[in-house]
Protein backbone atom coordinates (compact mmCIF):
# COMPACT_ATOMS: atom_id res chain seq x y z
CA UNK A 1 0.00 0.00 0.00
CA UNK A 2 1.23 3.48 -0.85
CA UNK A 3 0.40 6.53 1.27
CA UNK A 4 0.57 10.10 0.01
CA UNK A 5 1.06 13.42 1.78
CA UNK A 6 -2.35 15.04 2.16
CA UNK A 7 -3.24 18.65 2.94
CA UNK A 8 -6.19 19.83 4.99
CA UNK A 9 -6.99 23.09 3.22
CA UNK A 10 -9.30 25.90 4.26
CA UNK A 11 -9.74 28.20 1.24
CA UNK A 12 -11.51 31.53 1.47
CA UNK A 13 -11.73 34.97 -0.13
CA UNK A 14 -11.09 38.40 1.35
CA UNK A 15 -12.52 40.79 -1.18
CA UNK A 16 -10.74 40.00 -4.42
CA UNK A 17 -7.87 38.15 -2.69
CA UNK A 18 -7.79 34.37 -2.42
CA UNK A 19 -6.27 32.93 0.75
CA UNK A 20 -5.81 29.51 2.34
CA UNK A 21 -4.67 27.82 5.51
CA UNK A 22 -2.94 24.45 5.10
CA UNK A 23 -2.02 21.62 7.48
CA UNK A 24 -0.09 18.64 6.10
CA UNK A 25 -0.61 14.98 7.05
CA UNK A 26 1.32 11.91 5.96
CA UNK A 27 -1.84 9.95 5.12
CA UNK A 28 -5.24 10.86 3.70
CA UNK A 29 -6.92 8.95 6.54
CA UNK A 30 -5.33 11.25 9.13
CA UNK A 31 -6.61 14.32 7.29
CA UNK A 32 -10.11 12.87 7.06
CA UNK A 33 -10.05 12.01 10.78
CA UNK A 34 -9.10 15.61 11.58
CA UNK A 35 -12.08 16.85 9.58
CA UNK A 36 -14.43 14.27 11.10
CA UNK A 37 -13.29 15.22 14.61
CA UNK A 38 -13.94 18.91 13.89
CA UNK A 39 -10.36 20.03 14.50
CA UNK A 40 -10.60 22.80 11.91
CA UNK A 41 -14.10 23.94 12.86
CA UNK A 42 -13.13 26.86 15.14
CA UNK A 43 -10.91 28.42 12.45
CA UNK A 44 -13.44 27.68 9.72
CA UNK A 45 -16.22 29.28 11.78
CA UNK A 46 -14.21 32.42 12.49
CA UNK A 47 -13.24 32.86 8.84
CA UNK A 48 -16.85 32.26 7.77
CA UNK A 49 -18.06 34.94 10.20
CA UNK A 50 -15.40 37.42 9.06
CA UNK A 51 -15.39 36.88 5.29
CA UNK A 52 -18.69 35.25 4.36
CA UNK A 53 -19.83 32.22 2.48
CA UNK A 54 -16.97 31.88 -0.01
CA UNK A 55 -15.10 29.34 2.12
CA UNK A 56 -14.34 25.64 1.81
CA UNK A 57 -12.48 23.02 3.87
CA UNK A 58 -11.29 19.78 2.30
CA UNK A 59 -8.47 17.24 2.10
CA UNK A 60 -6.24 17.34 -1.00
CA UNK A 61 -4.10 14.28 -1.70
CA UNK A 62 -0.73 15.14 -3.26
CA UNK A 63 1.27 13.05 -5.69
CA UNK A 64 4.18 12.88 -3.23
CA UNK A 65 4.62 9.50 -1.58
CA UNK A 66 4.94 9.64 2.20
CA UNK A 67 5.22 5.94 2.97
CA UNK A 68 5.21 2.61 1.14
CA UNK A 69 3.94 -0.38 3.07
CA UNK A 70 5.27 -3.51 1.43
CA UNK A 71 3.68 -6.85 2.17
CA UNK A 72 5.85 -9.29 4.05
CA UNK A 73 7.11 -12.27 2.14
CA UNK A 74 5.78 -15.58 3.25
CA UNK A 75 8.43 -17.82 4.74
CA UNK A 76 9.52 -20.63 2.48
CA UNK A 77 8.06 -23.94 3.50
CA UNK A 78 10.64 -26.55 4.35
CA UNK A 79 10.15 -29.87 2.63
CA UNK A 80 10.47 -33.11 4.55
CA UNK A 81 13.01 -35.04 2.62
pLDDT, tens only, 25-71? 999 999 999 999 999 999 999 999 999 889 999 999 999 999 898 87
| 3-state helix/strand/coil string of the chain | CEEEEEEEEEEEEECCEEEEEEEEECCHHHHHHHHHCCCCHHHHHHHHHHHCCCEEEEEEEEEEEEEECCCCCCCCCCCCC
Q: What is the pLDDT of residue 66?
A: 94
Angle at 28 between CA 26 and CA 30, to 5 degrees: 70
> What is the number of other CB atoms lying within 10 angstroms of the CB of residue 13?
14
User: What are the structural domain ranges in the chain?
Assistant: 2-68
- Average the pLDDT over 17-26 and give the result: 96
Position 3 pLDDT exceeds 90: yes
Amino acid sequence: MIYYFTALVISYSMGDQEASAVVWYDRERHCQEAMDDGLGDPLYTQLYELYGEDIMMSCHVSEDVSYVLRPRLRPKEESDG
